[in-house]
Homo-oligomer: A and B are copies of this chain.
Amino acid sequence: MSRAAETVGGETEPWEEVTPDAARRLLVAAVEAFAERGYHATTTRDIAGRAGMSPAALYIHYKTKEELLHRISRIGHDRALAILRTAAGGEGGAADRLADAVSSFVRWHAGRRTTARVVQYELDALGPEARAEILALRRQVDAEVRGIVEDGVAAGEFDVPDVQGTTLAILSLCIDVARWFNIEGPRTPDEVGALYAGLVLRMVGARPPGDART
């Protein structure tokens, strides 16, 4: 498996940075509820109930329901960006780095689907300032992938007429995994990651590893 794999595989819950313990339990409960029902359909009573607390306890650790979403979105985007940066900063050619980036990114969206759903689909529920902060992180995600594609084109490894459009499509493909992936479905996150890495290499016109055609 690739270098960036352990960034995803090694952890059980990625929320260890959230303290104290009660705040983390509330946040994990909120991720589950938001992913299942969506932000607006989730009640603060539901979140507190899942964490084994009274509704009022939530407001000791978070000012509003929206602050919970903001924290989740921020941490999730940071994690996703870190995964991409690890792959993009690798040492192989552009094709290796792109395959590594796509498979890691997809594995995260599939394996941590509940978090990814909240991160990718509840952006509009944030207020203007919080949304602007998150959008800045998304531009960094886009730049990371576009960088690999540009490297591949410059090195003659890829054949991409529209770099920005293709970058958009690659990210779109990865992100949408969070919408359809089902833990009980026939595919593991690793399998989807491998499948998607191959598809993306074709999209950029790279020769698959070991292919002798020109």
Give A196's nearest chain B residue, CB to CB.
B169
Would you call A202 an interface residue if the criterion is a C-beta within 8 Å of the partner chain's C-beta atoms? yes
Would you call A154 an interface residue if the criterion is a C-beta within 8 Å of the partner chain's C-beta atoms? no
User: How many identical chains are in the complex?
Assistant: 2
Q: 0/1 per residue, A1-42, Cβ < 8 Å to B?
A: 000000000000000000000000000000000000110110
Known contacts A40-B40, A199-B203, A202-B205; A176/B165 CB under 8 A = no
Q: How far is the CA of A155 from the CA of B32 in the complex (A)?
A: 46
**In the bound complex, do residue A172 and residue B176 qualify as a contact, i.e. CB atoms below 8 Å apart?**
yes
Would you call A162 an interface residue if the criterion is a C-beta within 8 Å of the partner chain's C-beta atoms? yes
Give A187's nearest chain B residue, CB to CB.
B165
**In the bound complex, do residue B195 and residue A180 qualify as a contact, i.e. CB atoms below 8 Å apart?**
no
Q: How far is the CA of A181 from the CA of B94 in the complex (A)?
A: 28
Give A42's nearest chain B residue, CB to CB.
B40
